[in-house]
A and B are shown apart, each in its own frame.
Chain A
Amino acid sequence: DAGITQSPRHKVTETGTPVTLRCHQTENHRYMYWYRQDPGHGLRLIHYSYGVKDTDKGEVSDGYSVSRSKTEDFLLTLESATSSQTSVYFCAISEGDRGEKLFFGSGTQLSVL
């Protein structure tokens, strides 16, 4: 299995609080992604990164920001969490810019009350 660690695995927080999810990889892959998964919506891309300090938006980026200061770490921040951001969040990595093989982490279950 690809070396991808997501933390925390579970988090419960209150509306309006900031939340940061971390994705750490040991594969030295250039590309990293954050997806969210909700019933009836499949997986939707939030943000992705194609290198240190290089990031771009996905299809559901509103309310989220990301940072990548090191190759191995990709952080997803909810500046002010809302109940609509209750979801399972998956981090993924890929070696090249083609992204044909994504390797996913185990996910973070986030509940915003």
Chain B
Amino acid sequence: DAKTTQPTSMDCAEGRAANLPCNHSTISGNEYVYWYRQIHSQGPQYIIHGLKNNETNEMASLIITEDRKSSTLILPHATLRDTAVYYCIVRALAGNMLTFGGGTRLMVKP
């Protein structure tokens, strides 16, 4: 599975959009981009995933560049409860192992 690179930490003002980048320059054609988050002391929570088209659900939007070498997770109106570690994972759809790296620690501030 392709390796991902994320900033270690980011801050965001409450009510503003949080844009979390992820680089995955070695991604191959059959690999999806997944995002999970982990709020302190809880298990990780699935957010969204996509292959090449932009995706949106009730939690977030996922923007994948045309060359698929990077992506951005967007939380449109961040709240204090969005403070968490966000993991970007790249993995082929077939296969059962998700590899979690260090992630980005997002701090939403009042």
Contact = CB atoms under 8 A, between A and B. Distances in A.
Given A42-B103, A100-B34, A48 B96 contact: yes
Interface string B17-46: 000000000000000101010000111111
Contacts of A59: 97, 99
A22 B49 CA distance: 29
A6 to B, nearest CB: 9
A103 B93 CA distance: 16
B95 interface: yes
Contacts of B45: 104
Interface in B80-105: 87, 93-103
A94 B43 CA distance: 14
Q: What is the interface of chain A mostly: helix, strand, loop, or mixed?
A: strand
B49 A100 contact: yes
B93 A106 contact: no
Nearest to A105: B43
Contact of A50 (B34, B41, B43, B96): B96
Interface residues of B, number: 22
B32 A100 contact: yes
B96 A90 contact: no
Contact of A48 (B32, B34, B97): B97
A58 B42 CA distance: 22
A45 B44 contact: no
Interface string A59-97: 100000000000000000000000000000010101001
Given A97-B94, A98-B93, 12 more contacts: A35-B100, A42-B100, A42-B101, A42-B102, A45-B99, A98-B94, A98-B95, A98-B96, A102-B46, A104-B42, A104-B44, A107-B42
Interface of A: 31, 33, 35, 42-45, 48, 50, 58-59, 90, 92, 94, 97-107
21 contacts: A35-B100, A42-B100, A43-B44, A44-B100, A45-B97, A45-B98, A45-B99, A48-B97, A50-B96, A58-B97, A59-B99, A92-B44, A97-B94, A97-B96, A98-B95, A98-B96, A102-B44, A103-B46, A104-B43, A104-B45, A107-B41
